[in-house]
Amino acid sequence: MKTRLGCLSKKSDSYSDFSEFLPPAHETTARCLKLSTDEVVRWSESFDHLLAHKYGLAAFRTFLKSEFSDENIEFWMACEEYKKIKSSTKLVSKANKIFKEFIEVQSPREVNIDYRTREKTKQSLSDPTPASLNEVQGKIYSLMEKDSYPRFLRSKMYQDIVNRAHAQGQRRSV
């Protein structure tokens, strides 16, 4: 993924924290050719499009990391994983982990939620179901959609990705 986005960014080294999401280096050229301008521009059409696209999500995560505010997307992703759990034992374990990491006051990656939501979530997690985190996840989603997402679209990082995708598309059509 870094190779795809890195080749689209003028300062690929400035987005070096993509490395954990990326394919091996030998796939660089092929990856660069596959990310179309339409795909990249579609990320700006809706927040859902951005999050649903593997490389859009990675770019957004990297942007948030660069702003030291990646706890919201990490929480959202943890909730997405949580919803897929079928085992009640694993559900309890994951619920506790998410609570301790993101929801509990003074947790390492505390998300910004109001007292009522925090308490309601805490109560809901006393007997967790796959839907126990839906409300708090929805609040964090809305916060990102209204705050972080518009900043991402205005960022130099996103503009560089669009410009590089466009330039590569022009070269391919010549």
> Mean pLDDT throughout 45-64?
96
- Place 146 in a pLDDT band, splitting at 50, 70 and 90: very high
Are the C-beta atoms of 40 and 162 separated by less than 8 Å? Answer: yes
pLDDT at residue 98, rounded to an integer:
98
pLDDT at residue 1, rounded to an integer:
46
- List the chain domain ranges: 35-169
pLDDT tens-digit profile of 58-81? 999 999 999 999 999 999 999 999
**pLDDT over 70 for what percent of the chain?**
78
Q: What is the DSSP string of the chain?
A: -HHHHHHHSTTGGGGGGGGGGPPPGGGHHHHHHH--HHHHHHTTT-HHHHHHSHHHHHHHHHHHHHTT-THHHHHHHHHHHHHT---HHHHHHHHHHHIIIIISTT-TT-----HHHHHHHHHHTTS--TTTTHHHHHHHHHHIIIIIHHHHHHSHHHHHHHHHHHHHHHHHH-
If one compares 36 and 9, the residue with the highest pLDDT of the two is 36
CB atoms under 10 Å from CB of 39, counted, come to 14
> Mean pLDDT throughout 2-16?
43
Which of 32-36, 130-134, 147-151 shows the lowest mean pLDDT across its residues?
Answer: 32-36
Which CATH code of 1.10.150.120, 3.30.70.20, 1.10.167.10, 2.40.33.10 fits the domain covering 35-169? 1.10.167.10
If one compares 11 and 153, the residue with the highest pLDDT of the two is 153
pLDDT at residue 170, rounded to an integer:
67
Are the C-beta atoms of 75 and 99 separated by less than 8 Å? Answer: no
